[in-house]
Amino acid sequence: MDITALSVSQIVSKIKTKELKAKDVVLTYLTNIDRLDSEIKAYLNVFHDYALKRAEEIDNNPNKKGLLLGVPVAVKDNISVKDFELTAGSKILKGYIAPFDATVIEKIKEEGAIIIGKTNLDEFAMGSSTENSAFFKTKNPVNTEYVPGGSSGGSAAAVKANETLIALGSDTGGSVRQPASFCGVVGLKPTYGRVSRYGLVAFGSSLDVIGPIGKSVEDVAITLSVISGFDLRDSTTAKVPVLNFETYLTGDIKGKKVGLIKEIQNFKIQPEVEEAFRKSLEIFEKNGAEIVEISMPHLKYALSVYYIVAPSEASANLARYDGVRYGFEGNADNLRDFYEDTRTKGFGSEVKRRILIGTFALSEGYYDQYYLKASKVRRIIFEEFKRAFEICDVILTPTSPTTAFRFGEKATPLEMYLSDVFTIPVNLAYLPAISVPFGVDSKGLPIGIQMIGKWFKEEELLNTAYVLQEEAKHV
């Protein structure tokens, strides 16, 4: 039996019926990690002993329950797992052992998931290629000369390389969807407020969401059901019922209206991506959906808004890394210099760049012009989506304007930022969105299609994604 070919629900049911041992599942994935990860470098930390011990516990427990029973889950290393190091890809947190579990970790543990390790990321999730990790670069398993995308590059690569079945990532401006797209896997960004952020290392607090990455829409749907829900420890979670999302994957989208943003033609898109995108529209039409044109004239401002709002929030969120209570300690004989030494040595350049942008955007004399202005334009973009969703059920875009790029290819920060133009507006508007692989370019690099759903309507979004996934099998 090829264990890596099994889906989440297959693994869970086989373990329940004792057809399969959790230990064999874990060993299969650990073996893949041992075999491949020296090249891919998806993991910062592999929980060999812990994972095997958990698997044995499951195998020895006659009471076999849980939506993720025995399922190996890789966790982006900006999510707190009790008693394990949490680095957020940064030198400044090196050596920090988390004394508590994130809410999503509690939830997946309760459902029998086996955390297999922590995956690499751009430092503090700031980046689109995982090149900004303080430790090493993760490679795209499809072609190791290319980046896996980011910032959840380790998570996406681990799923693609069969080094885990499911991975958790975080998405502030596309950090789940864009690497999923680059690696050819499925990545979901839930509605803001759907999944607790408690235990997620904060980057842009009004944008951050934890989301699952998997090989299929079904696997992602099950994981979403597990990690969702109101959490008293996160005041920004919503009291919205948690559904069994997998049961909504009917493949029936007849009569649904798929929105096509008119202004998308103004963006520079790689021709092969553009072609795949057109094809995906046809597929929806073929399946009984109607394509409707929507206009979002303010979409072009999303990047500016994002690169003000996210760094502003980050500049405060990252102030706690001062070397006093945990993590990396600088060296100086007075406190002020100690702070500066700790932070200057502890943070990488991209993180410093964003802290400085954010600090600037909030500073006296500039607040109105930058932070406040951006927050207002954010509302305009939000309202545009709201109007769009009055006439359509889901909006389609390419996930990223291009397929994966080579290491070092993006020469300036701005060039790098542009790879998230289609994912960023979704975070600004708190919406759910998913990236599903849909064909490859001439170099064999995966193309991802992004579907954006209505607020807290992940069941519809996932069903739409399911249709595309099933059709993609024949492309």
Partner 1 sequence: MFKPTIGLEIHIQLATKSKMFCSCSTEFGDPPNTHVCPVCLGLPGALPVINKEAIRYGVKLAHALNMKINLKSTFYRKNYFYPDLPKGYQITQYSLPLGFDGFLEIPMEGKIKKIRIERGHIEEDSGKSIHIGDITESEYSFIDFNRSGVPLMEIVTQPDFESGDEAYEFLTLLRSIVRYLGVSSGDMEKGALRCDVNVSVSKDENKGTKVEIKNLNSFRSVKRAIDFEVERQIKAIESGERIIRETRHFDEKEGTTKPMRVKEELNDYRYFPEPDLPPLELSEEFVLEVKNEIPELPNKKAVRYIETLGLQEDYARTIAYNKKYADYFEDIVNKVGHPKEVANFFLVNILGFLNKKGKDVDELTFGSNEFKELFSYLDSGLISTNIAKSVIEESIEKGISVKEIVESKGLVQITDENVIKEIVVKVLKNNPTPVSQYLSGKKQVFGFLVGQIMKELRGKGKPELVNKILNEELLKLEKGDEP
Partner 2 sequence: MKIELERIEKLAALKLDENERGSMLKDLEDIINYFENLKEVETDSIEPMVYGEKIELVLRDDIVEDSLHLTDLKRLRELFGDGFFRVRRIIGE
Q: Mark 321-350 with x for binding to partner 1 (rule: CB under 8 A) and - for no binding.
A: -x-xxx--------x---x-----------
Distance CA 290, CA 287 (A): 9
Partner in contact with 22, chosen from partner 2, partner 1, none, beta carbon below 5 to 8 Å by kind: none
Shortest gap between Cβ of 43 and partner 2 (angstroms)?
22
Whether 9 is catalytic: no
Pairing of strands 290-294, 257-261: parallel
**Minimum separation from the CB atom of position 428 to partner 2 (A):** 8
Among 109, 107, 124, 164, which Cα is nearest to 141's? 164
- Amino acid type, 442: S
Provide the H-helix boundaries in 118-256. Answer: 153-160, 177-183, 217-227
Contact 449, 399 (CB under 8 A): yes
Return d(Cα 273, Cα 276) in angstroms, integer: 5
What span, in angstroms and rounded, lies between the C-alpha atoms of 463 and 245? Answer: 9
Nearest-approach distance from CB 357 to partner 2, in angstroms: 6
125 binds partner 1 (CB under 8 A): no
Catalytic hit among 128, 155, 170, 175: 175
Angstrom distances, CA of residue 411 to CA of 242, 273, 306, 418: 43, 22, 20, 12
Burial of 1 (0-12, 13-18, 19+ CB in 10 A): exposed
Size, binding site for partner 2 by CB under 8 A: 68
Q: Does residue 301 belong to the site contacting partner 2 (CB under 8 A)? A: yes
Catalytic residue among 129, 151, 315, 400: 151
Task: Kindly state the DSSP code that residue 242 receives in the 8-state scheme.
Answer: P
Contacts of 323 (CB under 8 A, 6+ apart): 92, 329, 330, 338, 339, 341, 342, 343, 346
Q: Which of residues 8-67 bind partner 2 (CB under 8 A)?
A: none
Q: Extract the tokens encoding 472.
A: 């993609």
Binds partner 1 by CB under 8 A, chosen from 85, 234, 275, 460: 234
Q: Which is nearer to partner 2, 98 or 116 (CB)?
A: 98
Whether the CB-CB separation of 259 and 394 falls below 8 Å is answered with: yes
Q: Does residue 198 belong to the site contacting partner 2 (CB under 8 A)? A: no
Residue 166 beta carbon to partner 1: minimum distance, rounded to whole angstroms: 20
The question of whether 151 is a catalytic residue gets the answer yes
Q: Which amino acid is at 73?
A: V
Q: How far, in Å, CA of 452 to CA of 423, rounded? A: 9
Q: Does 354 bind partner 1 (CB under 8 A)?
A: no
Binding characters for partner 2, 414-443, by CB under 8 A (x = yes): x---------------x-------------
328 binds, among partner 2, partner 1, none (CB under 5 to 8 A by kind): none
Decide: is 407 part of the binding site for partner 2 (CB under 8 A): no
Sketch the per residue contact string, 333 through 362, with partner 2: x for CB under 8 A, - otherwise. Answer: xxxxxxxxx-xx--x-x--xx-xxx-xx--
Contact 86, 45 (CB under 8 A): no
Stretch that binds partner 1, among 174-182, 276-284, 307-315, 419-427 (CB under 8 A): 307-315
The amino acid at 352:
K
Task: Report CA torsion sign: 206, 450, 138, 4.
Answer: positive
Count of residues that interact with partner 1, criterion CB under 8 A: 44
Distance of CA 472 to the CA centre of its chain: 22
Asked if 96 is part of the footprint of partner 1 (rule: CB under 8 A), the reply reads: yes
**Largest Cα–Cα distance of the chain, in whole Å?**
70
Confirm or reject binding of residue 98 to partner 1 (CB under 8 A): yes
State in angstroms the smallest separation of the CB of 338 from partner 1.
Answer: 9
Helices (H) and strands (E) in the chain, counts: 15, 11
Among 29, 84, 198, 307, binds partner 1 (CB under 8 A): 198
Our CB check for partner 1 shows the closer of 162 and 315 to be 315
Give the residue numbers annotated as catalytic, written as ranges. 76, 151, 175
Residues that bind partner 2 (CB under 8 A): 96-97, 99, 191-193, 206, 230, 232, 235-240, 298, 300-301, 303-305, 307-308, 315, 319, 322, 324-326, 332-341, 343-344, 347, 349, 352-353, 355-357, 359-360, 363, 370, 372-380, 382, 412-414, 430, 455-456
